Chains A and B, each alone.
Chain A
Amino acid sequence: MTPLYGFVQGDTLGLVVVVDERATIAEVVAMLVEAASMRVAPRPDLRLRWRDRVLDPDLTVAAAGLEALDRVDVIAAAGEG
């Protein structure tokens, strides 16, 4: 299991989520969106940004190379880059 610092665009604080290394990036996005859902309305077409890269939603956490206590950001697809 990998703990991550997660930030959802439009939210007011950073969260900690613990994710399975076999989970996909899309599942990490869904987990963070749900965690922030009382403050930020869910939107379609969200992406995960890590170290200035937008990750492929189908990659697993392990394959993407995410490490414990890295920062990840959930951003709108239009905000990529």
Chain B
Amino acid sequence: MLRRDDWLDLARKLDWTYSYVDERELFPEEISGRPWLPGEEWRDWDEPYRTGFAEYVTNQSAKEAAVHAVRDALGGIDDFARLDRSWLSAHKLHAATLPLAEFAAVIGNLRAGRFGRDSAWRQTAVLGALDELRHTQIPLLLMHELVRWDRQFDWTHRFLHSDDWVAIAARHLIDELLLASTPIEFAIATHFVFETGFTNLQFIGLAATAHGVGDRLFEKVVQSIQTDEARHAQIGTPVLQKVLAHDRELGQYLIDKWFWRSWHFFAVVTGFAMDYLTPLARRTASFKEFVEEWILEQFQRRCDELGLARPWYWDQFVAAVDTYHHMVYASAYTYRATVWFDLALPGPDERAWLAAKYPRSWPAIDPVWERLTERWREAGPDVEWYTHGVTPVAFCDLCQMVLCGGTPEHNTAEVVARDGRKYVFCSAPCRWIFEREPERYAAHEGIVQRILTGQAPANLVALLRRYFGLDEEVWGKDVTGGRYPWLRRRETP
């Protein structure tokens, strides 16, 4: 009987010699991606896991059994009801942004499973598609039980089908990253940048946080998902190396573009959870410290090994690590009814912790929380609207996020006129990405355009109810309704 490594590549590296069709017809550049190279240029493509299908089935079956066991033991409503309410909001944020995005990744992987340029790449991508299907199903399965307890969990499935502003921003990213990319761009953007560069923030940083909070289910699930990601993310490096060998400028551009787009996503999803929604006593490190360890050091070292330059906006990125998620969180807190999860008001101890972790940026952010605290004191518990905005907010025409670039003293938004329309960008990198491929982005209409053209209502409550699909039971509130022990209404003398 042949040993594994003697037979594996007979199936895994099985590329036919095409005689009925031209290779360019079989792998058209517009679908397979550029640079378009003859098949023999890809023949040395390989990745280290070299997993066969039978091995995959065996491994995944064991992982599924482990997840089900944890769910049976820890996935009941009573288990969730014991968790801190702020942390539950982190759950709701992740539960909504994860599963259907993972389903889009199924499609991206399947495209690579057909149009990737080497058979080993195609096979690994097919396994990646099966991985992502699993990552779609797990949160849907786990959260479904909770819907009857808390309707905000219904947004696990509903979120990406809605026209909520966060969903519009998420779709703008996900559609391009996972649905509209060629296998080459998908491999670099998703596997190398998003999965290798950023998801350790989730799988290691946030898993450690979940452990500290006592949320064993969250911890075990993300660890289980991480083992899949670690395998299929290996597609990224050999594709990037091939692109760099033939078109270095293109490879660098794709890194620069997707690093910035991915950063905005993780700053919100992970930054909110780590610095605001995790109970203070359970925080192991700040979001910034995780970013410094897992991105500034590790991803940068990986880029150095491949001879890649730092993205041109690196100094802006480093500055944004100090400020961006704080700007977005404070904004989201004061527009919390526009989202499907509750937000927490940082108290004196949390603000002191944030001041210690962010000594450069926090002095400019803290007055916003001082102001909100005073407003809560004036209004008393449950008067949500006294600390809530009603004026429409502006969104970036690239990332579709609120214009929160820069600092409270200097917002970095830029307005640009182009072909009879004005576009606004939250930052110079977002503008740069737009202007590199305007045909890809220019026709998109953000919330402001939809309001100005009458497609969406300008009145906030009507916008929430009729356009975002929220109602008073579901829309976000302060997690305590303003009933913090440290927040006492001043008595009138």
Contact = CB atoms under 8 A, between A and B. Distances in A.
A65 B98 CA distance: 46
Contact of A69 (B365, B368, B424): B424
A68 B422 contact: yes
A40 B389 CA distance: 12
Interface stretch (B87-95, B147-155, B326-334, B461-469): B326-334
B413 A12 contact: no
A57 B402 CA distance: 28
Contacts of B402: 13-14
Contact of B408 (A3, A12, A16): A12
Nearest to A17: B391
Nearest to B408: A10
A15 interface: yes
B334 A39 contact: yes
A35 interface: yes
Given A14-B394, A16-B391, A16-B394, A5 B403 contact: yes
Contact of A35 (B326, B365, B387, B389): B389
Contacts of A69: 415, 422, 424
Contact of B331 (A9, A13, A16, A17): A13
B448 to A, nearest CB: 6
Interface residues of B, number: 37
A41 B368 CA distance: 8
Interface in B401-450: 402-404, 408-409, 411, 413-415, 422, 424, 448
A78 interface: no
Contact of B389 (A3, A18, A38, A71): A38
Interface centre among B375, B411, B413, B424 (most CB of A within 10 A): B411
Contact of A14 (B390, B409, B413, B422): B413
Interface string A1-40: 0010101011111111110000000000000000110111
Contacts of A70: 415, 422
Interface in A35-81: 35-36, 38-41, 68-71, 73
A13 B327 contact: yes
Interface centre among B388, B391, B413 (most CB of A within 10 A): B391
A7 to B, nearest CB: 5
B411 A14 contact: yes
B387 A5 contact: no
Nearest to A3: B452
B10 to A, nearest CB: 58
Nearest to A32: B391
A47 to B, nearest CB: 15
B367 A12 contact: no
Contacts of B371: 38-41
A16 B403 CA distance: 11
A69 B452 CA distance: 11
A10 B409 contact: yes
A14 B389 contact: no
B389 A5 contact: no
Contacts of A7: 403, 411, 413
Contacts of B411: 7, 11, 13-14, 73
A5 B386 CA distance: 23
B403 A13 contact: yes
Interface of A: 3, 5, 7, 9-18, 35-36, 38-41, 68-71, 73
Given A9-B408, A13-B393, A15-B391, 12 more contacts: A10-B368, A12-B328, A13-B402, A13-B403, A14-B402, A15-B393, A38-B371, A38-B372, A38-B387, A39-B368, A40-B368, A69-B422
Shortest beta-carbon contacts, A-B, top 8: A14-B403, A35-B391, A14-B394, A13-B331, A69-B422, A12-B327, A16-B392, A12-B330
23 contacts: A5-B415, A7-B411, A9-B409, A10-B367, A12-B408, A13-B393, A14-B394, A14-B403, A15-B391, A18-B458, A35-B389, A35-B390, A38-B371, A38-B372, A38-B387, A38-B389, A39-B330, A40-B371, A41-B367, A69-B415, A69-B424, A71-B413, A73-B411
Interface of B: 326-328, 330-331, 334, 364-365, 367-368, 371-372, 375, 386-394, 402-404, 408-409, 411, 413-415, 422, 424, 448, 451-452, 458
